[in-house]
C-alpha cells in the first residue's frame, strides 16, 4: 500500500538526518571522566586530582553543633569523605592541590510509619543535607557554592530484631552518602567542563 511506502521513506529520511548530524559532530566528543585525548590538555579527571578534601563536619541540625567523635554523626562524615575521595581521586591522595572542597553535612531522621499495635516505628526516613563549596587555593575565591540533599527510607523488621534495625539504618546512611558523593562529583564535573 502507498502509505506503507511513505512511512518507510520517512524513516529512511530521519535516519539520514541523524547520520548527517552525528557525522558533522564526530570530532567534538571526548570522554568526561577519562584522560584528555589531546596531549597536554587536561580532562575532568585531571582536574579532580587537584581537589583537596579536608575532614568533614556533620551536625544533626543545619548550622548546629558539630558531631562528637565516635558517634554515628562522625561515622557519616568519615563515610562521606571516603566516598568523595573515591569518586574524585579513585581512592588516591592529591599531590599538588589547586582547589579545596569544603563540605558541611547535617542529618535528620523521622518516622514515616508507626505500627498501630506495638506503637513502635516501622519505617524510618534518613535525610542527609550537604552544603559544599569549591575554593580555589591560589586566589581563595569560591568558584562553586551549592547544596545537595537526599532522603532514604528503611524498614525496621520488628521489636525483637533491634540489631537488624540498626544495620538497616547504617545501610540507608551508606546509600545516602553515595548518592550525595555522586551528586557533588557531577556538579564539579559540570563546573570543570562548562564553567557553570
Calculate the average pLDDT of the chain: 80
Return phi, psi of residue 194, to 5°: -105, -15
Dmax (CA) of the chain:
77
Is residue 1 situated within a structural domain?
A: no
In the chain, % helix, strand, coil (3-state, to 5) comes to 40, 25, 30
Could you give the residue ranges of the DSSP H alpha helices within the chain? Answer: 2-24, 44-48, 72-89, 162-194
Q: Domain tally for the chain?
A: 1
Q: Residue 136 is part of which domain span?
A: 43-194
Q: What is the pLDDT of residue 179?
A: 94
Q: Structure pTM?
A: 0.74
Does position 52 have pLDDT exceeding 80, yes or no?
Answer: yes
Q: What is the pLDDT of residue 145?
A: 93
Is residue 71 situated within a structural domain?
A: yes
Is residue 30 situated within a structural domain?
A: no
Is residue 13 situated within a structural domain?
A: no
Is residue 9 situated within a structural domain?
A: no
Of 62-66, 89-93, 114-118, 160-164, the poorest mean pLDDT is in 62-66
Is residue 89 situated within a structural domain?
A: yes
Which CATH number fits the domain that encloses residue 62? 3.30.160.150
Q: What is the pLDDT of residue 55?
A: 86
Q: What is the pLDDT of residue 111?
A: 81
> Which residue, among 180, 156, 164, 38, has the nearest Cα to 104 in the 3D structure?
180
From the CB of residue 111, how many other CB atoms can be counted at a distance below 10 Å? 12
Rounded CA separation 196/191 (Å): 5
Q: What is the pLDDT of residue 187?
A: 93
Q: What is the mean pLDDT of residues 42-51?
A: 84
In this structure, are residues 56 and 184 in contact, taking their beta carbons and an 8 Å threshold? Answer: no
Amino acid at each position: 500500500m502507498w502509505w506503507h511506502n511513505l512511512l518507510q521513506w520517512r524513516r529512511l529520511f530521519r535516519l539520514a538526518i541523524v547520520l548527517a548530524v552525528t557525522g558533522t559532530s564526530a570530532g567534538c566528543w571526548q570522554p568526561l571522566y577519562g584522560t584528555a585525548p589531546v596531549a597536554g590538555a587536561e580532562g575532568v579527571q585531571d582536574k579532580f586530582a587537584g581537589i583537596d578534601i579536608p575532614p568533614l563536619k556533620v551536625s544533626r541540625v543545619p548550622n548546629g553543633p558539630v558531631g562528637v567523635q565516635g558517634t554515628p554523626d562522625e561515622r557519616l562524615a568519615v563515610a562521606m569523605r571516603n566516598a568523595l575521595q573515591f569518586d574524585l581521586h579513585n581512592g588516591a591522595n592529591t599531590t599538588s592541590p589547586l582547589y579545596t572542597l569544603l563540605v558541611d553535612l547535617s542529618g535528620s531522621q523521622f518516622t514515616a510509619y508507626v505500627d498501630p499495635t506495638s506503637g513502635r516505628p516501622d519505617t524510618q526516613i534518613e535525610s542527609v543535607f550537604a552544603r559544599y563549596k569549591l575554593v580555589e587555593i591560589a586566589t581563595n575565591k569560591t568558584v562553586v557554592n551549592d547544596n545537595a540533599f537526599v532522603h532514604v527510607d528503611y524498614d525496621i523488621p520488628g521489636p525483637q530484631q533491634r540489631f537488624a534495625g540498626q544495620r538497616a539504618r547504617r545501610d540507608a546512611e551508606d546509600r545516602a552518602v553515595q548518592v550525595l558523593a555522586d551528586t557533588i562529583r557531577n556538579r564539579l564535573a559540570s563546573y570543570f567542563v562548562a564553567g557553570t
